[in-house]
A and B are shown apart, each in its own frame.
Chain A
Amino acid sequence: MAAEAKLSHTAAMILQAISAGYVYGFSIMEVTGLPSGTVYPAMRRLERDDLIRSQWERQSIADAEQRPPRKYYKLTAAGRTTLDASRKRYPLLERLMPTEEARSV
Protein backbone atom coordinates (compact mmCIF):
# COMPACT_ATOMS: atom_id res chain seq x y z
CA MET A 1 0.00 0.00 0.00
CA ALA A 2 1.37 3.41 -0.99
CA ALA A 3 0.33 5.07 2.27
CA GLU A 4 2.31 2.53 4.28
CA ALA A 5 5.48 3.15 2.32
CA LYS A 6 5.17 6.92 2.53
CA LEU A 7 4.59 7.14 6.29
CA SER A 8 7.30 9.34 7.78
CA HIS A 9 9.22 8.47 10.90
CA THR A 10 7.37 11.19 12.84
CA ALA A 11 3.98 9.85 11.75
CA ALA A 12 5.10 6.31 12.58
CA MET A 13 6.18 7.48 16.05
CA ILE A 14 2.81 9.09 16.65
CA LEU A 15 1.02 5.93 15.53
CA GLN A 16 3.25 3.88 17.81
CA ALA A 17 2.53 6.26 20.72
CA ILE A 18 -1.21 5.98 20.21
CA SER A 19 -0.88 2.22 19.92
CA ALA A 20 1.08 2.22 23.20
CA GLY A 21 -1.80 3.93 24.97
CA TYR A 22 -0.89 7.62 24.74
CA VAL A 23 -4.21 8.73 23.40
CA TYR A 24 -4.27 12.53 23.54
CA GLY A 25 -2.08 15.21 22.03
CA PHE A 26 -0.13 16.38 25.05
CA SER A 27 0.76 12.84 26.20
CA ILE A 28 2.00 12.04 22.68
CA MET A 29 4.12 15.18 22.79
CA GLU A 30 5.60 14.11 26.10
CA VAL A 31 6.39 10.57 25.08
CA THR A 32 7.76 11.34 21.62
CA GLY A 33 9.46 14.61 22.56
CA LEU A 34 7.99 16.23 19.47
CA PRO A 35 6.69 19.84 19.63
CA SER A 36 2.99 20.62 19.47
CA GLY A 37 3.44 22.23 16.04
CA THR A 38 4.48 18.83 14.73
CA VAL A 39 2.27 16.45 16.68
CA TYR A 40 -1.15 18.04 16.15
CA PRO A 41 -0.82 18.65 12.38
CA ALA A 42 0.51 15.11 11.96
CA MET A 43 -2.49 13.75 13.83
CA ARG A 44 -4.83 15.75 11.55
CA ARG A 45 -3.27 14.12 8.50
CA LEU A 46 -3.37 10.67 10.04
CA GLU A 47 -7.03 11.19 10.81
CA ARG A 48 -7.68 12.43 7.27
CA ASP A 49 -6.07 9.24 5.94
CA ASP A 50 -8.27 7.14 8.27
CA LEU A 51 -5.28 5.76 10.15
CA ILE A 52 -6.53 7.14 13.46
CA ARG A 53 -9.95 8.16 14.72
CA SER A 54 -10.75 10.86 17.28
CA GLN A 55 -13.48 10.79 19.88
CA TRP A 56 -14.48 13.34 22.48
CA GLU A 57 -14.48 12.24 26.09
CA ARG A 58 -17.90 12.17 27.72
CA GLN A 59 -18.77 15.45 29.43
CA SER A 60 -19.94 13.64 32.56
CA ILE A 61 -16.48 12.07 33.10
CA ALA A 62 -14.76 15.42 32.66
CA ASP A 63 -17.26 17.13 34.98
CA ALA A 64 -16.67 14.51 37.65
CA GLU A 65 -12.93 15.25 37.52
CA GLN A 66 -13.52 19.02 37.27
CA ARG A 67 -11.62 19.50 34.04
CA PRO A 68 -12.50 20.15 30.37
CA PRO A 69 -13.20 17.07 28.22
CA ARG A 70 -10.32 15.88 26.06
CA LYS A 71 -10.21 14.58 22.54
CA TYR A 72 -8.87 11.03 22.47
CA TYR A 73 -7.33 9.30 19.49
CA LYS A 74 -7.20 5.61 18.67
CA LEU A 75 -5.91 3.50 15.81
CA THR A 76 -8.20 2.25 13.09
CA ALA A 77 -7.79 -1.13 11.42
CA ALA A 78 -5.93 0.57 8.56
CA GLY A 79 -3.78 2.37 11.12
CA ARG A 80 -2.80 -0.90 12.79
CA THR A 81 -1.86 -2.42 9.41
CA THR A 82 0.18 0.64 8.53
CA LEU A 83 1.88 0.60 11.92
CA ASP A 84 2.84 -3.05 11.46
CA ALA A 85 4.40 -2.17 8.11
CA SER A 86 6.15 0.84 9.66
CA ARG A 87 7.62 -1.30 12.43
CA LYS A 88 9.33 -3.38 9.75
CA ARG A 89 10.61 -0.23 8.15
CA TYR A 90 11.70 1.35 11.47
CA PRO A 91 12.73 -1.64 13.63
CA LEU A 92 13.58 0.53 16.68
CA LEU A 93 10.15 2.10 16.77
CA GLU A 94 8.81 -0.21 19.48
CA ARG A 95 11.80 0.45 21.74
CA LEU A 96 11.43 4.22 21.59
CA MET A 97 8.59 4.40 24.05
CA PRO A 98 7.22 2.25 26.85
CA THR A 99 3.60 1.16 26.86
CA GLU A 100 1.22 3.13 29.09
CA GLU A 101 0.78 0.04 31.33
CA ALA A 102 4.54 -0.47 31.68
CA ARG A 103 5.00 3.19 32.60
CA SER A 104 2.31 3.03 35.28
CA VAL A 105 4.04 -0.01 36.87
Chain B
Amino acid sequence: MKVFATYNIKGGVGKTTAAVNLAYLAAEDGQRTLLWDLDPQAAATYMFRVRARVKGGGRALIKGTRSLDGAIKGTDFDRLDLLPGDFTYRNMDLLLDEAKKPVRRLTRLLEPLARDYDVVFLDCPPSVSLVSENVLHAADLILVPLIPATLSVRTLDQLTEFVAGFDGPRPEVLAFFSMVDRRKRLHREVAEQLPARRDDVAATAIPALAVIERMAEERAPVPVFAPRSPATRAYRDLWAEIQKLAPESDSLHPTG
Protein backbone atom coordinates (compact mmCIF):
# COMPACT_ATOMS: atom_id res chain seq x y z
CA MET B 1 0.00 0.00 0.00
CA LYS B 2 1.33 3.38 -1.02
CA VAL B 3 0.39 6.42 1.01
CA PHE B 4 0.29 9.77 -0.77
CA ALA B 5 -0.38 13.02 1.09
CA THR B 6 -1.29 16.39 -0.39
CA TYR B 7 0.24 18.97 1.89
CA ASN B 8 1.03 22.64 2.07
CA ILE B 9 1.17 25.03 5.00
CA LYS B 10 -0.97 27.44 3.04
CA GLY B 11 -4.63 26.97 2.26
CA GLY B 12 -6.32 27.48 -1.12
CA VAL B 13 -3.42 26.15 -3.18
CA GLY B 14 -5.23 23.15 -4.72
CA LYS B 15 -4.54 20.38 -2.19
CA THR B 16 -8.06 19.03 -2.05
CA THR B 17 -8.75 19.26 -5.78
CA ALA B 18 -5.46 17.45 -6.42
CA ALA B 19 -6.27 14.74 -3.85
CA VAL B 20 -9.77 14.19 -5.28
CA ASN B 21 -8.69 14.04 -8.92
CA LEU B 22 -5.57 11.97 -8.35
CA ALA B 23 -7.45 9.50 -6.15
CA TYR B 24 -10.07 9.17 -8.88
CA LEU B 25 -7.38 8.51 -11.50
CA ALA B 26 -5.64 5.96 -9.29
CA ALA B 27 -8.91 4.05 -8.94
CA GLU B 28 -9.58 4.38 -12.65
CA ASP B 29 -6.16 2.80 -13.20
CA GLY B 30 -7.30 -0.29 -11.30
CA GLN B 31 -5.81 0.56 -7.90
CA ARG B 32 -7.95 0.04 -4.81
CA THR B 33 -7.93 3.54 -3.49
CA LEU B 34 -8.92 5.28 -0.27
CA LEU B 35 -9.03 9.02 0.27
CA TRP B 36 -9.01 10.20 3.88
CA ASP B 37 -10.35 13.70 4.15
CA LEU B 38 -8.53 14.95 7.26
CA ASP B 39 -9.74 18.52 6.86
CA PRO B 40 -12.54 19.55 9.26
CA GLN B 41 -13.94 21.65 6.41
CA ALA B 42 -14.54 18.34 4.59
CA ALA B 43 -14.41 19.76 1.08
CA ALA B 44 -13.31 16.45 -0.47
CA THR B 45 -16.17 14.71 1.33
CA TYR B 46 -18.62 17.21 -0.09
CA MET B 47 -17.29 16.67 -3.60
CA PHE B 48 -18.09 12.97 -3.31
CA ARG B 49 -21.61 13.71 -2.05
CA VAL B 50 -20.92 11.93 1.22
CA ARG B 51 -22.17 13.29 4.56
CA ALA B 52 -19.33 14.90 6.53
CA ARG B 53 -19.82 12.83 9.62
CA VAL B 54 -17.94 10.00 11.30
CA LYS B 55 -19.69 8.11 14.10
CA GLY B 56 -17.92 8.93 17.36
CA GLY B 57 -16.04 11.72 15.58
CA GLY B 58 -12.28 12.09 15.33
CA ARG B 59 -11.91 11.01 18.96
CA ALA B 60 -13.24 7.49 18.27
CA LEU B 61 -10.90 7.05 15.30
CA ILE B 62 -7.77 8.39 16.97
CA LYS B 63 -8.41 6.57 20.24
CA GLY B 64 -9.09 3.39 18.26
CA THR B 65 -12.52 2.75 19.80
CA ARG B 66 -13.85 2.72 16.25
CA SER B 67 -11.87 1.21 13.38
CA LEU B 68 -11.16 3.25 10.27
CA ASP B 69 -12.62 0.36 8.31
CA GLY B 70 -16.07 0.87 9.83
CA ALA B 71 -16.13 4.56 8.95
CA ILE B 72 -15.28 4.15 5.27
CA LYS B 73 -17.89 5.00 2.63
CA GLY B 74 -17.97 3.88 -0.96
CA THR B 75 -17.97 6.66 -3.52
CA ASP B 76 -19.83 6.56 -6.83
CA PHE B 77 -16.70 5.25 -8.51
CA ASP B 78 -15.28 1.77 -8.82
CA ARG B 79 -12.45 1.00 -6.43
CA LEU B 80 -12.56 4.46 -4.80
CA ASP B 81 -13.57 4.75 -1.14
CA LEU B 82 -13.65 7.72 1.19
CA LEU B 83 -12.99 8.18 4.86
CA PRO B 84 -15.14 11.26 5.40
CA GLY B 85 -14.11 14.51 6.98
CA ASP B 86 -15.78 15.52 10.22
CA PHE B 87 -15.92 18.87 12.00
CA THR B 88 -14.52 17.23 15.15
CA TYR B 89 -11.21 16.80 13.30
CA ARG B 90 -10.52 20.38 14.36
CA ASN B 91 -9.51 18.89 17.72
CA MET B 92 -7.34 16.18 16.22
CA ASP B 93 -4.12 17.82 17.44
CA LEU B 94 -5.23 17.48 21.03
CA LEU B 95 -6.32 13.88 20.53
CA LEU B 96 -3.06 12.95 18.88
CA ASP B 97 -1.12 14.60 21.67
CA GLU B 98 -2.75 12.23 24.16
CA ALA B 99 -1.73 9.15 22.14
CA LYS B 100 1.41 7.09 22.63
CA LYS B 101 4.03 7.98 20.02
CA PRO B 102 1.87 10.92 18.93
CA VAL B 103 3.64 11.61 15.60
CA ARG B 104 3.15 8.02 14.42
CA ARG B 105 -0.48 7.53 15.42
CA LEU B 106 -1.89 7.90 11.88
CA THR B 107 0.73 5.50 10.53
CA ARG B 108 -0.41 2.93 13.07
CA LEU B 109 -4.10 3.50 12.30
CA LEU B 110 -3.53 3.02 8.56
CA GLU B 111 -1.64 -0.25 8.90
CA PRO B 112 -4.67 -2.60 8.93
CA LEU B 113 -5.91 -1.04 5.68
CA ALA B 114 -2.95 -2.42 3.70
CA ARG B 115 -4.92 -5.61 2.98
CA ASP B 116 -7.77 -3.70 1.34
CA TYR B 117 -6.09 -0.82 -0.48
CA ASP B 118 -3.25 -0.31 -2.92
CA VAL B 119 -3.23 3.46 -2.56
CA VAL B 120 -4.25 5.83 0.22
CA PHE B 121 -4.46 9.59 -0.26
CA LEU B 122 -4.38 11.82 2.80
CA ASP B 123 -5.88 15.24 2.21
CA CYS B 124 -4.25 17.31 4.92
CA PRO B 125 -5.62 20.56 6.36
CA PRO B 126 -3.37 23.61 5.87
CA SER B 127 -1.27 23.99 9.01
CA VAL B 128 1.90 23.14 10.78
CA SER B 129 0.57 20.92 13.53
CA LEU B 130 0.70 17.49 15.04
CA VAL B 131 -1.82 16.38 12.37
CA SER B 132 0.43 17.49 9.52
CA GLU B 133 3.46 15.95 11.23
CA ASN B 134 1.55 12.67 11.48
CA VAL B 135 0.63 12.89 7.83
CA LEU B 136 4.23 13.49 6.81
CA HIS B 137 5.34 10.45 8.81
CA ALA B 138 2.59 8.24 7.39
CA ALA B 139 3.21 9.19 3.75
CA ASP B 140 5.48 7.47 1.24
CA LEU B 141 5.19 10.47 -1.06
CA ILE B 142 4.24 14.04 -0.14
CA LEU B 143 2.62 15.94 -2.97
CA VAL B 144 3.08 19.67 -2.48
CA PRO B 145 0.97 22.01 -4.60
CA LEU B 146 2.82 25.30 -5.09
CA ILE B 147 1.51 28.60 -6.40
CA PRO B 148 4.22 29.89 -8.78
CA ALA B 149 5.95 32.51 -6.69
CA THR B 150 9.46 33.11 -5.45
CA LEU B 151 8.52 32.26 -1.89
CA SER B 152 7.17 28.84 -3.00
CA VAL B 153 10.70 27.54 -3.33
CA ARG B 154 11.39 28.57 0.23
CA THR B 155 8.29 26.69 1.45
CA LEU B 156 9.42 23.60 -0.40
CA ASP B 157 12.95 23.83 1.00
CA GLN B 158 11.62 24.20 4.52
CA LEU B 159 9.48 21.10 4.11
CA THR B 160 12.30 19.06 2.56
CA GLU B 161 14.63 20.07 5.38
CA PHE B 162 12.01 19.17 7.98
CA VAL B 163 11.40 15.73 6.44
CA ALA B 164 15.17 15.06 6.16
CA GLY B 165 15.37 15.28 9.95
CA PHE B 166 12.96 12.35 10.47
CA ASP B 167 14.20 9.26 12.28
CA GLY B 168 13.47 6.08 10.36
CA PRO B 169 11.78 6.02 6.96
CA ARG B 170 11.53 9.38 5.24
CA PRO B 171 8.92 10.18 2.61
CA GLU B 172 9.75 11.37 -0.89
CA VAL B 173 8.68 14.91 -1.67
CA LEU B 174 7.26 15.91 -5.05
CA ALA B 175 6.08 19.48 -5.56
CA PHE B 176 3.94 20.55 -8.50
CA PHE B 177 2.74 23.94 -9.61
CA SER B 178 -0.92 24.53 -9.09
CA MET B 179 -3.33 27.25 -10.14
CA VAL B 180 -0.90 28.36 -12.82
CA ASP B 181 -2.17 31.41 -14.70
CA ARG B 182 -0.42 31.47 -18.07
CA ARG B 183 -1.31 35.11 -18.53
CA LYS B 184 1.03 36.04 -15.68
CA ARG B 185 4.69 36.29 -16.64
CA LEU B 186 5.92 35.27 -13.20
CA HIS B 187 3.72 32.16 -13.20
CA ARG B 188 4.97 31.18 -16.64
CA GLU B 189 8.62 31.70 -15.78
CA VAL B 190 8.60 29.97 -12.41
CA ALA B 191 6.50 27.04 -13.65
CA GLU B 192 8.86 26.49 -16.57
CA GLN B 193 12.23 27.09 -14.95
CA LEU B 194 11.96 25.38 -11.60
CA PRO B 195 11.11 21.82 -12.81
CA ALA B 196 14.16 22.00 -15.10
CA ARG B 197 16.39 22.89 -12.15
CA ARG B 198 14.99 20.60 -9.47
CA ASP B 199 14.20 16.88 -9.42
CA ASP B 200 11.63 17.32 -6.69
CA VAL B 201 9.37 19.52 -8.80
CA ALA B 202 7.06 17.79 -11.29
CA ALA B 203 7.18 18.81 -14.93
CA THR B 204 3.37 18.88 -14.99
CA ALA B 205 1.66 22.04 -13.78
CA ILE B 206 -2.05 22.27 -12.96
CA PRO B 207 -3.53 25.30 -14.68
CA ALA B 208 -5.89 27.75 -12.99
CA LEU B 209 -9.11 26.87 -14.75
CA ALA B 210 -12.74 27.47 -13.99
CA VAL B 211 -13.48 23.81 -14.64
CA ILE B 212 -11.53 22.90 -11.48
CA GLU B 213 -13.56 25.38 -9.47
CA ARG B 214 -16.67 23.74 -10.85
CA MET B 215 -15.86 20.55 -8.94
CA ALA B 216 -17.70 21.88 -5.88
CA GLU B 217 -20.72 22.63 -8.04
CA GLU B 218 -20.69 19.31 -9.92
CA ARG B 219 -19.67 17.43 -6.77
CA ALA B 220 -17.42 15.12 -8.81
CA PRO B 221 -13.79 14.83 -9.96
CA VAL B 222 -12.94 16.80 -13.11
CA PRO B 223 -12.38 13.70 -15.34
CA VAL B 224 -16.00 12.69 -14.64
CA PHE B 225 -17.74 15.84 -15.87
CA ALA B 226 -15.04 17.31 -18.14
CA PRO B 227 -13.08 14.34 -19.44
CA ARG B 228 -11.48 16.23 -22.33
CA SER B 229 -10.62 19.44 -20.51
CA PRO B 230 -7.01 20.63 -20.19
CA ALA B 231 -7.42 20.22 -16.42
CA THR B 232 -8.15 16.50 -16.82
CA ARG B 233 -5.15 16.17 -19.11
CA ALA B 234 -2.94 17.93 -16.56
CA TYR B 235 -4.09 15.71 -13.69
CA ARG B 236 -3.55 12.60 -15.86
CA ASP B 237 -0.02 13.77 -16.69
CA LEU B 238 0.68 14.46 -13.03
CA TRP B 239 -0.63 11.01 -12.06
CA ALA B 240 1.64 9.47 -14.70
CA GLU B 241 4.63 11.28 -13.16
CA ILE B 242 3.67 10.07 -9.70
CA GLN B 243 3.29 6.53 -11.02
CA LYS B 244 6.86 6.60 -12.22
CA LEU B 245 7.94 7.26 -8.64
CA ALA B 246 5.62 4.59 -7.24
CA PRO B 247 4.84 1.84 -9.76
CA GLU B 248 1.39 0.31 -9.57
CA SER B 249 0.48 -3.30 -8.94
CA ASP B 250 -2.52 -5.39 -9.97
CA SER B 251 -5.65 -4.55 -8.13
CA LEU B 252 -7.53 -6.66 -5.62
CA HIS B 253 -10.82 -5.18 -4.72
CA PRO B 254 -13.17 -6.96 -2.40
CA THR B 255 -16.86 -6.88 -3.11
CA GLY B 256 -17.89 -9.16 -0.32
Say if A and B assemble together.
no
Question: Residues of B at under 8 Å CB distance from A?
Answer: none
Question: Residues of A at under 8 Å CB distance from B?
Answer: none
